[in-house]
Structure 1
Amino acid sequence: MNKSNQDTGYLHSVETFGALDGPGIRYVLFLQGCPLRCGFCHNPDTWQACTGKAVTPEDAFEDILKYKNFISSGGVTLSGGEPLLQPEFCQALISLCHSAGIHCAVDTAGSIPLDFCRQAVDAADLLLLDIKALDPTLCQELTGQDNQNALALLEYCEAAQKAVWIRHVLVPGLTLRRELLENLAEFLSGFSCVEQVELLPFHKMGEYKWEALNLRSPLSGTREPTKAEVAAAKKIFQSRGLSIH
């Protein structure tokens, strides 16, 4: 395919047989760069922008086509990092994928102002939206940024009836608190665009990446939630009529 510097993107890595990032089996592109500094991030090596492998949308699409038969039940997911930090690349790649009938999801924390990334959001078939915390002060504490952009994105998806899967990390002592979960569940129950909620137990599998970068995770002393705690959290959301994955 013809190569162009227009809309060049920066990739951290790809996963050709992803089963955790949207419906079906998916080709997942992890884009480089993220404005958040989440204490529970398992990919801190994606934070730095404009690094990694530079590719054009055509380059990326050409590789995706090699796996088209394997991802026919799913599609492509743009993840990161924060993919909407590179909206032109996302929009162009989604357009190419749609030309081949491939479903496209964007996995985002909603940290980018909508005015900057609206066209990429409009192009996506599905948003996997990670709500870090409903309380803006807690969100600031967890990520270094409040949730204004994320909630504005959710409101926009509701108006456009864009399909959304909500993701929320359960961190003992921080987000795994009954009153906070009840408030979030009640809030999300008012959005018809939310198809399901994924509650993700906090884990430390990415802690070695922090160490490799000479960083110390602020949650290094935090325990992982128990199965009983996760089950209780799921019941809160189910009681509000929300579908839990």
Structure 2
Amino acid sequence: MKKYYEAMEHGEIKEVFKDVFFVSGTMKNEFFGSMWQFSRNMVVIRERGDLSIINSVRLNEAGLKELEKLGKIANVVRLGDMHGVDDPFYLDRYNATYWAIPGMRFPEGIKPDKELKEGGEMPFENSSFFQFKTSKRPEGIIRLNRENGIMIACDSLQNWTEPDQFFDKETVETMTKMGFFVPANLGLAWLHECEPQASDFSNLKQLQFEHALCGHGYPVVNNAQQQYHETFKRMFNV
């Protein structure tokens, strides 16, 4: 019998935009030699009754019942190589189609059904895929062509403006000292692990968007493009 990553504390599923849902939960993992506990987010897109889960976060049974009320779980989409621990649970429970970027690392017995590539097939309509070309581990962003552009990111774009209820005290202290709690920021652990270069952010600036839903932090509703462009300038001078 497969052993899945445990379901931990999470919040309610919220409809941020029409047919675009967002839920925050908990992650525990070891970084830089110590255990961290922090929040992570899952985005759910609904199209004609089918649901696509992006940046999966395992929900408890009550949460799964609420998710199932929204529609049929048809797709599980992985945007970042540093995420994915809950993908096997959703794939097995719902027999969903698995979308991932070529070159990602997978647990034994797991492989993608569909590849995410720029200009390629997408799990839902009115969307496009952007891939970081210089990141040492695969990472991408989906641009949803609704509401003047919604960027759905994993670790690259973040928006931890302050700690939430899913952090423990020690992690808050550590991440505060390291500068994680900055609006419209880039993922500091991702930058350290994957070392993306300025050229990726120059390319990313060509995409037009108004909002951002990231793997970590709060939704950026309105004026997201200007805020992230200022971050690209500050961190990469592009």
TM-score class, shorter: 0.3 to 0.5
Specify the structure having the higher radius of gyration (Cα).
1
TM-score w.r.t. the length of structure 2 is: 0.37
TM-score w.r.t. the length of structure 1 is: 0.37
Which structure has the highest helix share of the two? 1
